[in-house]
Amino acid sequence: MPIQPPNKDTEEMEAEGDSATEMNGEEEESEEERSGSQTESEEESSEMDDEDYERRRSECVNEMLDLEKQFSELKEKLFRERLSQLRLRLEEVGAERAPEYTEPLGGLQRSLKIRIQGSTRASVWT
């Protein structure tokens, strides 16, 4: 195919394209300026964010330490309470007053009484 000379419409479009490119170049510069100022504000905000993050982290660490201290105190208190309860039960068992001791003992004593009565009746018949 033979190459056609460029027509006027194509030349006008290219000229318009050039001016559009120039306009875009100007816009790009203004966008660069804007992005530069945005970058500065982002850096300032990121510095502030870093400070805020560090402050928040410090607050969280302090709160966690306080909670760990409270937990340890409560754990120790629970341990002491359970230990005192076990000592009381041990004393009750030693004094033969604990229900864990007296109820089975009562059942054994009833069984013993029934056996004794049964064996005395058997001996009477013989």
Q: What is the mean pLDDT of residues 35-59?
A: 77
Tokens of residue 46, six digits: 């990121």
Q: What is the mean pLDDT of residues 18-27?
A: 50
Q: What is the mean pLDDT of residues 56-76?
A: 97
Residue 84 — very low, low, confident or very high, per pLDDT cuts 50/70/90? very high
- Single-letter amino acid code for the residue at 64: M
HEC string of 14-60? Answer: HHHHHHHHHHHHHHHHHHHHHHHHHHHHHHHHHHHHHHHHHHHHHHH
Domains of the chain by residue range: 51-120
Residue 58 — very low, low, confident or very high, per pLDDT cuts 50/70/90? very high
Torsion sign over Cα 43, 45, 51, 57: negative
Indicate the DSSP class of residue 7.
P
Q: Which residues, in sequence order, are CB contacts of 106 under 8 Å at separation 6+?
A: none
Q: What is the mean pLDDT of residues 57-73?
A: 98
Alpha carbons within 13 angstroms on the beta-carbon side of residue 98 total: 13
pLDDT tens track for 111-124: 999 999 887 776 66
Q: Of residues 24 and 102, which shows the higher confidence score?
A: 102
